[in-house]
Structure 1
């Protein structure tokens, strides 16, 4: 039921100002009269309104334009408020990006309207936080942008009261790694070796060079359409949202999918992201994982997201790890980007200098570790159903589940291994974490260990690789898993065999998708958590040619977990 509420408007004039409005203060600013439509210059909306940081009494609406003309947010039953646009210089373009826009390989037509040889205009950020709302209430809203014919309409819903009993549905995915090059770019699609009489976690040698039938752009778009159909309360992305965190074109592509020409899922579904290794990466102009590259990449990350504060000692730790409460759910997001630089066995990225790049360590005794203990203990004491997300999957069988080291994948070592994140397992068991959501291996994979349910949800829209890294190495690190994890292991690669009718795929195999998580009240105080992996299946005709249509399906692995409070 929609309710009328008094609201205060907090307009962020800077990222510092945005942070300040999340500390529980009652600061507000006066309404700003919008520029009359008839005198406003032509304005393009570059990123449609998207939702951030919902609580039981507040929510933020953010959008981007190409001029400094204020926009107007109208919330049904609450009021009308003007934005104060802020120029965001961190969202600029490098020379290679300008060359790509005007080159002959811009198959997706990104920024096709930009004058030859020029860069797209720097964007202006509009951020409006509305407070004084009612818990668990849906509001209609509009964003009107003077100088633009675009009228944006959607709904947002505030969270249930923390600890309140509610039925919640959210989606989890990772590793979409958006970039303009995803259009017309298909990926390797290895099949399980079980079909040829070998182990199910191996890859059929006949499929080493087999390519997926649709490109990455098409696959991710189909995935998002399925996600929207499920009407989630919020959306968790466990890292690698973009291919290169320091490259603006890759962020532009992400918003085309989520708050742009291809969908507006983010206009009604708040996103809670974690940083992946690709969010710390910039190439070719920035030196991969060099400190300037990591810093530039963080500046872009910081410009887009408004997330709960962690009050870290370094301002650049903000938005890297945080806690979110959504009724009976607590989501703890950790930053697995960097560990102990002096010990490869305690580091997930041997190329990042954590001190110079101002990236927090995650290891025992670090600031992030101690923060996690405090938040997990508090959530457990409040009887919350606890979920944790970070990027580097700790218990997997993919290339990034090889032992940590610099010897190379061909020698069965990986410089970006997820194994160091196993250090948190003891905390997850101690504080009753139900589920851990991760990615990085680009698998759909599950294990249960000591009552904690681990998912790799890295099948959103990029790679569709299998375990190991065939054909570079035929070693699959299944033996690296603890015995209980081996006994409970499931993967789309090995446990959802492809079913063919001649050249036509009928069912099964690994496809782009997401994990759906439902938290349902059970009895007077308890809950049941139901986890269902779903996927967008590309339909084929009898000749094996894709039709352009997708069927919405689920895998044969539904995990139900009773949670006692």
Structure 2
């Protein structure tokens, strides 16, 4: 039996409207659960993927529509049996069922489901493999009764602190949803060609659309990323369009561990929550406590991540520390700040207490945890990277001051500016780079030796600074002086080059940041950060051929870190 006997992916992970809390007007009630399939009809909902690597352990997770136990066999180690659990949080609202069977289901998601029915319930299989050897590759096989054996490879982490070369990729804001198929995004160009500023926007491109749809762009992006053979994969938030919508998670896994690609089957993901992972409930669209709770329940179902030992169990998997050889990754949750003070809050529509979303400000539980972990990683001589969603030093629409007056009036109710509160401790504890998204730009600044990247160009928006034509203001003047002096962006610094209607080079495209950490000298390390992208090939009429070229931007950052 095939893995997808007509596409059986029943699982997985915005446009600007979603980022600002656009909502559906219809009310939704979950449909009745369909009958559980027999073992003979079993299929994978999500192919096996690996998580939470250590030097001696790895988690293998998969989802099926059968409650029959499966097993993982590790070459030279042994066989491990799963204990399936019904994944109750991975349910569908009635509008999702209508979408599956509607005329706009261009990606044919769940095309195998009978008319009017919901996909079969999902059963989670998760096995923690131990007694592995550090920095070693293994072949693993997963056997699920009723489905084909799935085979892939995994590699354990080097010992913490060991002088090993490490490569990881970082991206954010893919914001997957079935609607991404046949859906293109606005694609503005800088104003240099008309004698304007590079951070300005050419008005003639306000309504111009990108050459390929989001599904095609993200597929090509992950293909390129896979060919770079990273040790792990960092996603700085907004994995899905709506965190409470199951179809959007299903679409995420179609790309990462499904019919369209299996990068997650070989490469563990370290994700962080974005604003979209706190958004939408079928009976309460938008931002509210119901949406945050449901979104977190789905998040919690999918991920195995290091514990932060938080006092609230729903703070787990929101912020955590991961060590991988000489690299330490500190993940923070920038979803919510001080609800009483907009200048200290990144989302004015989330009530942190009702939604059980942690504050990130000084004195909070998350802040105190971050200080402890940063200090410890520095004391151990680790190369420290930090990720969170809301970029702190950018020039996009979410880099305007926090407030409720509206973008046209120079305020954003989902601003990343409050995350600047971490600047001093990042410098104090020797953080090498900070990775974020949210503005959906490819952007870089350096401040007091800390390198800040916005890597929000994975597969959704390809925005420019500001938000034309609602406003032409670009908050460049709000950046610290050194950030202004070191600022680089794909929008401003990579002008488009055309031959008639055919794009030859330049412009904003989907991609990822590649980070190499290499031993240098007796004690130090060289860190090389390279933004890479997929370039859509077009014919002389500007029509996409379906091919992509693998390229890199002209901003390669090389630094030496002494330890």
Contact kept in structure 1, 2:46 and 2:258, CA below 8 Å = yes
Tell me what 2:108 maps to.
Answer: 109
Tell me what 1:239 maps to.
Answer: 237
Contact kept in structure 2, 1:159 and 1:327, CA below 8 Å = yes
Tell me what 1:210 maps to.
Answer: 208
Aligned runs of 1:499-510 on 2, under 5 Å?
A: 499-510=497-508
SS where residue 537 of structure 1 aligns?
strand
The CA distance in 1 between the partners of 2:39 and 2:377, in whole Å, is 49
Aligned runs of 1:476-555 on 2, under 5 Å?
A: 476-555=474-553
Tell me what 2:55 maps to.
Answer: 56
**Which of 149, 165, 173 is the matching residue for 1:167?**
165
SS where residue 246 of structure 1 aligns?
coil
Q: Deviations over 1:157-189 (max 9, x none)?
A: 110000000000000000000000000000000
Contact kept in structure 2, 1:275 and 1:337, CA below 8 Å = yes
1:226 matched to 2:221? The reply is: no
The CA distance in 1 between the partners of 2:274 and 2:132, in whole Å, is 33
1:439 matched to 2:437? The reply is: yes
Contact kept in structure 1, 2:281 and 2:290, CA below 8 Å = no
Cα deviation for residue 147 of structure 1 reads 1.0
The CA distance in 2 between the partners of 1:217 and 1:188, in whole Å, is 15
Tell me what 2:177 maps to.
Answer: 179
The CA distance in 2 between the partners of 1:344 and 1:147, in whole Å, is 53
1:47 matched to 2:39? The reply is: no
Tell me what 1:98 maps to.
Answer: 97
SS where residue 56 of structure 2 aligns?
coil
Tell me what 1:271 maps to.
Answer: 269
The CA distance in 2 between the partners of 1:389 and 1:322, in whole Å, is 10
SS where residue 89 of structure 2 aligns?
helix
Tell me what 2:334 maps to.
Answer: 336
The CA distance in 2 between the partners of 1:561 and 1:66, in whole Å, is 48
Cα deviation for residue 287 of structure 1 reads 3.1
Contact kept in structure 2, 1:274 and 1:389, CA below 8 Å = yes
Cα deviation for residue 286 of structure 1 reads 2.3
Cα deviation for residue 521 of structure 1 reads 0.3
Mean alpha-carbon deviation: is it higher for 80-89 or for 292-301?
80-89
Tell me what 1:426 maps to.
Answer: 424
**Which of 287, 305, 313 is the matching residue for 1:289?**
287
Q: Give ranges in structure 1 of 5+ residues lacking alignment.
A: 1-38
SS where residue 377 of structure 2 aligns?
helix
SS where residue 360 of structure 1 aligns?
coil
SS where residue 41 of structure 1 aligns?
helix
Q: Deviations over 1:38-60 (max 9, x none)?
A: x9432010100001000001000
Q: Deviations over 1:443-487 (max 9, x none)?
A: 000000010000000000000110000111000000010111000
Cα deviation for residue 101 of structure 1 reads 0.6
Tell me what 2:25 maps to.
Answer: none
The CA distance in 2 between the partners of 1:365 and 1:84, in whole Å, is 40
Tell me what 1:396 maps to.
Answer: 394
Cα deviation for residue 115 of structure 1 reads 1.1
**Which of 289, 314, 317 is the matching residue for 2:312?**
314
The CA distance in 2 between the partners of 1:414 and 1:325, in whole Å, is 35
Tell me what 1:68 maps to.
Answer: 67
Cα deviation for residue 293 of structure 1 reads 0.7
Tell me what 1:475 maps to.
Answer: 473
The CA distance in 2 between the partners of 1:548 and 1:379, in whole Å, is 45
Contact kept in structure 2, 1:96 and 1:285, CA below 8 Å = no
The CA distance in 1 between the partners of 2:395 and 2:53, in whole Å, is 36
Aligned runs of 1:324-363 on 2, under 5 Å?
A: 324-363=322-361
Cα deviation for residue 103 of structure 1 reads 0.7
Q: What is the TM-score when the length of structure 2 is the normalising length?
A: 0.93
Instruction: Write out the 4+ residue segments of structure 1 that deviate beyond 6 Å after TM superposition.
Output: none
Q: Give ranges in structure 2 of 5+ residues lacking alignment.
A: 1-37
Tell me what 1:379 maps to.
Answer: 377
The CA distance in 2 between the partners of 1:553 and 1:97, in whole Å, is 37
Q: CA RMSD in A?
A: 0.8
SS where residue 90 of structure 1 aligns?
coil
The CA distance in 1 between the partners of 2:223 and 2:546, in whole Å, is 13
Contact kept in structure 1, 2:80 and 2:129, CA below 8 Å = no
Q: Deviations over 1:65-95 (max 9, x none)?
A: 0010111211000011221111011000001
Q: Deviations over 1:3-56 (max 9, x none)?
A: xxxxxxxxxxxxxxxxxxxxxxxxxxxxxxxxxxxx943201010000100000
Aligned runs of 1:107-146 on 2, under 5 Å?
A: 107-146=106-145
Cα deviation for residue 493 of structure 1 reads 0.3
**Which of 556, 559, 564 is the matching residue for 2:554?**
556
Tell me what 1:465 maps to.
Answer: 463
The CA distance in 1 between the partners of 2:359 and 2:493, in whole Å, is 36
Tell me what 2:79 maps to.
Answer: 80
Q: What is the TM-score when the length of structure 1 is the normalising length?
A: 0.92
Contact kept in structure 1, 2:93 and 2:282, CA below 8 Å = no
Tell me what 2:29 maps to.
Answer: none
The CA distance in 1 between the partners of 2:468 and 2:307, in whole Å, is 41
The CA distance in 1 between the partners of 2:85 and 2:67, in whole Å, is 7
Tell me what 1:255 maps to.
Answer: 253
Contact kept in structure 1, 2:185 and 2:213, CA below 8 Å = yes
The CA distance in 2 between the partners of 1:243 and 1:234, in whole Å, is 23
Contact kept in structure 2, 1:172 and 1:514, CA below 8 Å = yes
